[in-house]
Amino acid sequence: MPTKDNISIVNYSLALGILWSISLSIIAIWTISEEKKSTLNLAAAEARAYLNKDQALRLWATEHGRIYIPATDSYPADPLLAHIPERDIETPSGIALTLINPARIIRELDKNYGHLYGVTGKVTSLAPLAQQNTPDEWEKQALHRLMNGEKEAFELTYINGSEYLRLMQPLMTKPGCLLCHAGQGFEIGKPGGGIGIALPMQPLRSQETSAIVSKISILLLLWCLGISSLIVGAWIISRQIAVRQAMLQKLQRSEKRKSAIFETALDAIITINREDRILEFNPAAQKIFGYARNEVIGKKMAELIVPKSLRHQHYEGLQRHLITNQATITDTRIETTAMRSDGSEFPIELTITRLDEEDSPLFTAYLRDITLNRQMEKQLLHQASHDYLTGLLNRHSFEQSLQRLLDNPGPGSQHCLMYMDLDRFKLINDSCGHAAGDELLRQLAVLLSDETGPDDILGRLGGDEFGLVIKNQTPEQALQIGRKLLEDIQDFRFYWENKIFSLGMSIGLVNITDTGQSLTDLLRLADAACYRAKEEGRNRIIVTNQFDGDILQYRHGEINWINSIESAFDQNRFLLYQQPIFPVEGGMAAKPM
């Protein structure tokens, strides 16, 4: 579909084409007119040249007074000169001569030799002596004009269908003219007639036509070149406009997409200039930072959303980038801190891009509030390091914390490890279900957390087993803490579905020394002490150390018995014996069951 620009180009091209055509037409008309004027001037000059020749011949003849020629049949004596004495004379040798006047000389030249140069000359008068000198209609008009004082008469006329230039000049009366025209009233020095030339125009018209055709052809070629240039130029401009329109439409679509993205983006998009003044502030930025757009446009970004602790770093980085064109965060994703309108700070993810517009750099910041991300990260880290049921450290995190303490216990410090196992937990789990057992573990975790210090390490090691690292306490102090925990557990009552349960706990206590004992050894020793507490009646605490071999030997002995029994089962080394039982009465043996 033609666009407004294309229609304008067509109209302009048509107007220029018409103007070009009119201009060349005017030039063509002027060229034709000039050629015709040139032809006429050339013809007039040529006619004057011939006329001057005839005039010169006539003057020459007149100035000589009398000119005689032999009288022959071709040139008999002129009867019009009969009144002149000595019209006819005879030479001593007997040759008959007759007088000839200038008019006859010119007439004879034109009659007999005019074909050599194609021009007809004639001497005429309003009162001619000879019939041959009688003027035609045009010559009569020309003679009247000459008699009235005009110096020359010329005109384009047609003779027998051919175009001629007729030129006539006055024939002034000389003294010699009166020889033939005495008594006709001629006065010396005044026009007595005229001498005329009839110049054929056909040769000059042919030259004129050739010149006109040549020049018109050149003009026509120029017209074709001009029109072709206009057509090609219009096509090129139309193509350029089409390309420009396509690019403009593409740019407009891009701008619409950009605007849509800018307006609907969930991330804050802020554009600043080299002076840190805000130029763009999208709706997401308004929502995240709590500013309306009209509140921030033209103001410095650092004063609005950059915390005071980071502003100096922000300005320093901006100036360094403007001076050196080097930056550490451009086109790089980083995490930093931003500030809301109420002054509260929150974590963001930031990316900055630079765009040079008219030699002036613009910086666009893409900011994402990662508060929820940080919370989720903390939650995931907590889930990875803590027991999902009780919220205490899980076994892996507990062992890591204990290992760090072993690696750096601190000079002169004493720490203790408790390994705790609930008594009769399986009874509650089996009688009331796992939901009851889980709730019991949660309540016990709260109880244990309330009784431990802020620096102590408490964790769930698995099932109903817990671990507690008591920092900066001697074994005696740790023992008192353990006894207090036992009392709290004894006083604790668990309620579930109208049932009340009391509990106990067995605790193994190990002193953590700086003798280089391993994590595995400590846990094994504490576990063995806890097991010993259960064997000795439950609900008690057993204190041991790495030098207490009885604890480990006892535990190892049980483990060995368990391994031996399992191995015997695997190897079918168990034997079953039976003995018949006879009743006292009846004498019959009972069948084996």
Mean pLDDT within 405-420 = 87
Asked whether residue 72 is domain-assigned, the answer is yes
Per the document, the length of the chain is: 593
For the purposes of burial, counting CB atoms within 10 Å of the CB of 418, is it exposed (0-12), middle (13-18) or buried (19 or more)?
A: buried
Q: How far apart are CA 353 and CA 391, in angstroms?
A: 44
Same domain, 485 and 511: yes
Structural domain includes residue 362: yes
Per the structure, the complete domain to which residue 299 belongs is given by 265-374
Residues of 436-447 as b/e, b for ≥16 C-beta within 10 angstroms? bbebbbeebbee
Percent pLDDT > 90 in the chain is 32
Residue pair 482/412 in contact (Cβ under 8 Å)? The answer is no
Averaged over 353-368, what is the pLDDT? Answer: 86
Give the tokens for residue 371: 């508060």
- Tell me, yes or no, whether 217 lies in a domain: no
Q: How far is CA 14 from CA 17, 219, 239, in A?
A: 5, 19, 17
338 vs 440: CA distance, rounded Å:
44
From residue 581, how far is each of 575, 577, 587 by CA, in Å? 20, 13, 10
Rounded to the nearest 5°, which phi and psi values hold at 207?
-65, -40
Residue 352 lies in a domain: yes
Q: Which of 305, 263, 255 is nearest to 284 (CA)?
A: 263
Spell 22-40 as b/e; 16+ CB within 10 A means b.
eebeeebeebeeebeeebb
Which residues make beta-bridge pairs with 69? 98
My answer on whether 503 and 535 are in the same domain is yes
Using CA atoms, how far apart are residues 331 and 346, in angstroms rounded to an integer? 22
* CA 244/CA 253 separation, integer angstroms: 14
| pLDDT value of position 558 | 59
Residues 181 and 308 in one domain: no
Q: How confident is the model at residue 310, as a pLDDT?
A: 92
Interacting residues of 130 by C-beta distance below 8 A, sequence separation 6+: 80, 103, 104, 107
Alpha-carbon Rg of the chain, whole angstroms? 70
417 vs 412: CA distance, rounded Å: 17
Give pLDDT, residue 447.
Answer: 93
Q: Is 365 left (phi over 0), alpha (psi -120 to 50) or beta?
A: beta
Domain final residue, candidates 158, 189, 206: 206
Residue 226 included in any domain: no
Residue bearing tokens 């502030």: 281
In this structure, of 13-17, 46-50, 351-355, the range with the lowest mean pLDDT score is: 46-50
> 481 with 425: CB under 8 angstroms?
no
What is the rounded end-to-end Cα distance, in angstroms, of the chain?
106
DSSP label at residue 56:
H
Nearest to 461 by CA among 558, 537, 527: 527
Pick the most confident of 183-197, 244-258, 361-375: 361-375
Please tell me the distance from the alpha carbon of residue 9 to that of residue 230, in angstroms, as a whole number. 10
Among the ranges given (164-178, 288-302, 307-321), the one the predictor scored with the smallest mean pLDDT: 164-178
pLDDT of residue 284: 92
Q: Which of 264, 303, 307, 271 is nearest to 287 (CA)?
A: 264
Decide if 231 is inside a domain: no
Structure tokens at 355: 């765009």
Number of structural domains, the chain? 3
Q: Could you read off the pLDDT of 416-455 as tens digits, one per residue?
A: 999 999 988 888 888 888 899 999 999 999 999 998 888 9
Residue 317 has pLDDT above 80, yes or no: yes
Does one domain contain both 350 and 412?
no
Instruction: Answer yes or no: is 490 within a domain.
Output: yes
Tokens coding 233 = 């130029």
Do 398 and 321 share a domain, yes or no?
no
Task: Please check the confidence at residue 185 and state whether its pLDDT lies above 60.
Answer: no
Same domain for 427 and 454: yes
* Domain shared by 347 and 413, yes or no: no
Domain boundary, last residue among 374, 406, 425: 374
**pLDDT value at position 4?**
66
356 to 166, 197, 297, 322: CA distances (angstroms): 84, 87, 20, 12
pLDDT at site 176: 54
Whether residues 148 and 14 share a domain: the answer is yes
Q: What pLDDT digit, counting tens, does each position of 453-465 carry?
A: 889 999 999 889 9
Q: Please determine, for residue 373, whether its predicted confidence score (pLDDT) is greater than 80.
A: yes
- How confident is residue 593, by pLDDT bands cut at 50, 70 and 90? very low
Residue 589 covered by a domain: no
Q: Are 405 and 514 in contact (CB under 8 A)?
A: no
- Coil, helix or strand at residue 194: strand
Q: Are residues 370 and 411 in the same domain?
A: no
Most confident of 50-64, 181-195, 527-541: 527-541
Mark whether 16 and 150 lie in a shared domain. yes
**1-12 residues labelled b (16+ CB within 10 A) or e (exposed):** eeeeebeebeee
Distance CA 339, CA 308 (A): 9
pTM: 0.48
* Final residue of a structural domain among 374, 407, 430: 374
User: The domain that contains 504 carries what CATH number?
Assistant: 3.30.70.270
| Domain match, 409 and 491 both | yes
Q: Do 366 and 470 fall within a single domain?
A: no
Mean pLDDT taken over the chain: 84
Q: Give the CA angle between residues 499, 505, 507 to the nearest 5°.
A: 170
Q: What is the CATH number of the domain that holds 316?
A: 3.30.450.20
Higher pLDDT, 248 or 507: 507
